[in-house]
Chains A and B, each alone.
Chain A
Amino acid sequence: KNEVEQSPQNLTAQEGEFITINCSYSVGISALHWLQQHPGGGIVSLFMLSSGKKKHGRLIATINIQEKHSSLHITASHPRDSAVYICAAYSGGGADGLTFGKGTHLIIQP
């Protein structure tokens, strides 16, 4: 069974700061999702990656398969980036669903 750990659990930063959220998992995976959930809202998939790095606008996600670790970075953070960021990995043992981290609650203050 895969264990997915995220850090930090809560993060408050000032607008413009560079943000890093970390995710580690215990079992080798085929892919990892980074998801975003706004207060009262649904879940949006930001990235799915299985190696290297992906970039979309101000968001960058990296993964190191050997170290079982992924990071989500936000450059030039903005108050609208305030949300819960969740990493999720495909479980080991043949299960088909995602195993989710507890999420990182990010608040960007103006």
Chain B
Amino acid sequence: RKEVEQDPGPFNVPEGATVAFNCTYSNSASQSFFWYRQDCRKEPKLLMSVYSSGNEDGRFTAQLNRASQYISLLIRDSKLSDSATYLCVVNPKAAGNKLTFGGGTRVLVKP
């Protein structure tokens, strides 16, 4: 089983709709979780960190479910500019850094 797994998609989303997808992780001791966005042929950029209580940033909501070992990302009122690959990142160690990336979920927002 991979350490971090994502549905590769693509998720085809009508403009204005809501889309949500998950990322599962195998190490129950994982401490830090992040969502990154990667545009085609560019470097990944931090979208948001994921906190235990869940957090929201504008149209984006991230949740952590420790019992089932997954994090989720929800995008409301999708814009054409939200089309990208969304990468889930997990740090499986309690201390130190060894960030492990999921394979990414591709989202295509269409008019």
| A, B in one complex | no
B-binding residues in A (CB < 8 A): none
